[in-house]
Structures are given as structure tokens and as C-alpha cells.
Amino acid sequence: MFFILLKREFRLLYKKKIELLQLLVFILLGLLIFPLAAGPERALLASAGRGYMWIIQLFMIFLSGKLFYEEDYRDGSLEQLFLQIPALEMLIIAKYIAYSLNLILISLISLPFLGLLFGIEAGTIMKTAASLIIGIPCLAAIAGFGASLTLGSRKAGLITPIILTPLYIPVLIFSVGSDNFLNDTVILTALFLLIAPLSIFFSALALKIAMRE
Amino acid sequence: MLSAQNLSYRRGDKIILADLSFALARGEGLVIAGANGSGKTTLLKILAGLLAPESGKLELDGTDIIGGKSAEYLGRILYLGHKNAMNEELTVLDNLKFWAGLAGNEILIPAALAYFALEEYALMPYKTLSHGLKRRVALARLIFSQKDIWLLDEPFANLDGETGERLANLIATRRQNGMVILSSHQAVALENFKELRLE
């Protein structure tokens, strides 16, 4: 049953090819603009690159993450799923997996451009890739929680970033990283293990409340 | 036996349902009649466990089923709301495959398409369909449902004559070995159905 849910999430993502392309263009343009605006100083670009990549990720999630359950809520699928699957948590996990894998893939595709435009060496790019692979699911879990909390509210676009920003910050700090790569990775993984179950549990509660309105 | 005793529901200051009671045995049907805004949808949502009443009792064979807390009851009902629960982006077939897959009954998809004359639309994106056709796709889910208690919100609205008859047959069959509760703002002729009129 879980795989049926997961299959549907991937199918829906794949149906919206234009939106996928939009995300990719968003990252690439963002990466292109920064070196132009900040000037050609190599040392500055190389040190700012990784952090800048994460800022782009955060904005991408701000823009797309609030729509997590919107479609299913509007067309009535969410109610039906609540009645048909043993636990809403299954749906939430399926959504997180599909959304995260999709963002990770798009980000990894754009990493060579980061290296090229910011003059970052291959080793740092690899570290960035690792932090994206662990960090994006964290951000997705936070965004998903925010989406469930404000589902059906017209003010969602205003409230969600304000509520969620304090939650994003720890993830951002350890994703951008210090000199100690191993340490950061361990902490990031720990953050993920903490955030994901909490987010899944509370999202399920919030979704049930949203359906009662 | 599904029994409701003194169900009340209020939204804000507005009383939507007041002291509503009825009982329904296996093999019986119930038509919830009433004008727009009389609380038909609210009552069906309460019966489906999507809403909890403010007060009152709701039991199936003696088990409390309020607010979807009985997993066994949730496993027995099929609720069809006035939203169709079909994704606009997916094709008719993909949508039906998803719901049939969850119901564990993919084998009945061709039968469902045929019964509601939807074969020629199967590969079209759901969003390109007209209102009536969209509703027909949602109703096709009834064919592969294995649930024995059906809760249908305005199933006859927006249907053409022939589809309406086919639906009535389907409902009659389910009623014989289960229970059907449906709402309607217009008169429907269904055998062995009680009527509950909401003010």
C-alpha cells in the first residue's frame, strides 16, 4: 500500500515537468547572478559558494514547500486517503521521500555549475553534495510540517516562513558546515533523525484537524 | 445496526444539526433529504468519521464510531463526498488505478470504466473532462469498492438519465447486502429506503 502512495507521488511530480524545469532554472539563475553581483574576487566566491547554494535551497523550499498537501486537500483526496489507508503517516512519508529525492536530484545536477561559477574545488563540491543529501530531507520535513499546519488557510504564505525560519536555522548552520566535515555530518544526521519523526507525527495531527474545517 | 441518538452539531453560533436520531439495519437504505444548507453534508461527514458531533451517540452494532476512532468501522465504509477526489493532472485511468490499487481491486477497473461508459476517456487527463463526466469517474470507484456501508453525498446531482439509472441499480444491489446512506436535495425513487428530512 505504501508503494502505491509513493508511486502516485512520483507520477504527480513527473507530470509537472514544467515545474521541475522551473526549479532547475531557479537554481541555475541564482548561481549565475551571485558572481556577477558580488564581483570577480576568487577568494570571496570560493568561500561564499557553499553557503549561497544553501540559501537558494531554502528559498526554493519556501516557494514550493507550502504546496505539499494543497492539491490533495482541495480535490478531496486527503479525506478519502484518511478513510482508506491505515495511517496518514504513510502518505506523509511518501510525500517527504518523493519531494526530497526530487530536490536532491535537481540540486546535484546544478552542483557542477556551482563549482564552475564560484571556482570551488572538487573536494568541497563533494562535501556540499553530502550535506545536500542529508540536509534537504531535513528541510523537507520542516516545510511539510509547516504546510500541514497552515493547510486551508489563505494566510499560509505569510505565516509559514515566519514560523519555520527558526527551525530551518540549525539545519542551515550544520549544512553550510565548518572545517570539521565529519562532525557536521554526524550532527546533521542526528538533526534529521530528530526532526523527521516529530514532523511526521505532528503533521498527521494537523492534517486531521484541517479536514474538520 | 447503525444507530444515531440525539446527534447535535454546531458551527460557531449556528446550529446545524439538532437532536437527530435514526436507526438503520443491514439491508436498509436512508435518504437524507433537505434543502441546501440543511446539514446533509455535515451529517454524512459525521457518519464517515470526518467530523465529530458536539453531543449524541453514534454506534454500529454497539461499537462507538464517533470521529473515526473505530478502525474497523473505517475499513467498512465508502464515503463519496461532493469533491471527487481525483487528481486533475493525472489521467482518468491513472486516477482509478490509484484508488483501485488501494482498495486491492485493480482487476475491476475495466468493468468500472465500462459500467459508466468511460472507456473512451480513460487516457485523457482528468482536468479536461466536463463536470458530469468527472462525477462519473468518481462514481466508478463504487464498482471496485469492497466496502459494505456506502455514504454518498448527492450522488445523483449532475448526472444524465441513463447514468442515474445505472447508479440507482448499483445502489440497490449494495443496499441488499449492506447499507446505503445518501443525501439528495431532489426526490429520488429508491426501493426500501427510509427518508430523513432535515430542516
pTM (2 d.p.) = 0.90
Give the mean pLDDT per block of 10 residues along chain B (199 residues). Answer: 89 87 90 88 91 89 83 89 91 94 90 93 94 92 89 89 90 90 83 84
Do the Cβ atoms of B71 and A86 come within 8 Å? yes
Which among B83, B93, B131, B134 has a CA at the least distance from the CA of A71? B83
Do the Cβ atoms of B87 and A75 come within 8 Å? yes
List chain A residues with CB under 8 Å of B79: 79-80, 83
Residue to test with chain A: of B50, B126, B135, most A Cβ within 10 A? B50
Domains of chain B by start residue, with CATH: 1-76+181-199 (3.40.50.300)
Q: Does A84 touch chain B (CB under 8 A)?
A: yes
State the residue range of the domain holding A120: 2-211
Q: Nearest by CB to A4, which of B74, B83, B98?
A: B98
**Residue percentage of chain B with pLDDT more than 90:** 46
CA dihedral B63, B64, B69, B70 (to 10 degrees): 20
List chain B residues with CB under 8 Å of A67: none
ipTM here: 0.88
**How far away is chain A from the Cα of B25, in angstroms, using its nearest Cα?**
22
pLDDT beneath 50, residues of chain A: none
Q: Does A19 touch chain B (CB under 8 A)?
A: no
Do the Cβ atoms of B103 and A83 come within 8 Å? no
Rounded to the nearest angstrom, the gap between the alpha carbon of residue A83 and the centroid of all alpha carbons in its chain is 28
List chain B residues with CB under 8 Å of A72: 87
Do the Cβ atoms of A1 and B68 come within 8 Å? no
List chain B residues with CB under 8 Å of A11: 90, 94
List chain B residues with CB under 8 Å of A20: none
Digit-coded pLDDT (tens) for B48-74: 988 889 888 888 888 888 887 788 888
**Cell representation of residue A62:** 519556501
| Helices within chain A (DSSP H only) | 2-15, 17-38, 42-65, 70-74, 77-84, 88-118, 122-149, 156-176, 181-211
Do the Cβ atoms of B87 and A79 come within 8 Å? no
The predicted pLDDT at position B182 comes to: 93
Q: Nearest by CB to A11, which of B51, B83, B94?
A: B94
Phi and psi of B195, rounded to 5°?
-120, 135
Q: Nearest by CB to A75, which of B71, B84, B102?
A: B84
Give the whole-angstrom CA distance, residue B185 versus residue B27.
23
**How far away is chain B from the Cα of A4, in angstroms, using its nearest Cα?**
7
List chain B residues with CB under 8 Å of A83: 48-50, 68, 74, 77, 79
**Cell representation of residue A154:** 489563505
The predicted pLDDT at position A67 comes to: 79
The predicted pLDDT at position A183 comes to: 85
Residue to test with chain A: of B83, B84, B91, most A Cβ within 10 A? B83
Do the Cβ atoms of A76 and B51 come within 8 Å? no
The number of domains in chain A is: 1
Q: For residue A116, what are the CA distances in angstroms to A111, A123, A179, B83, B121? A: 9, 13, 22, 50, 49
Find where cell 562535501 sits: A127
DSSP class of residue B108 equals G
Do the Cβ atoms of B98 and A8 come within 8 Å? yes
Digit-coded pLDDT (tens) for B36-52: 888 899 999 999 988 88
Which among A210, A212, A174 has a CA at the least distance from the CA of A92? A210
Q: For residue B36, what are the CA distances in angstroms to A74, B21, B33, B83? A: 21, 20, 10, 16
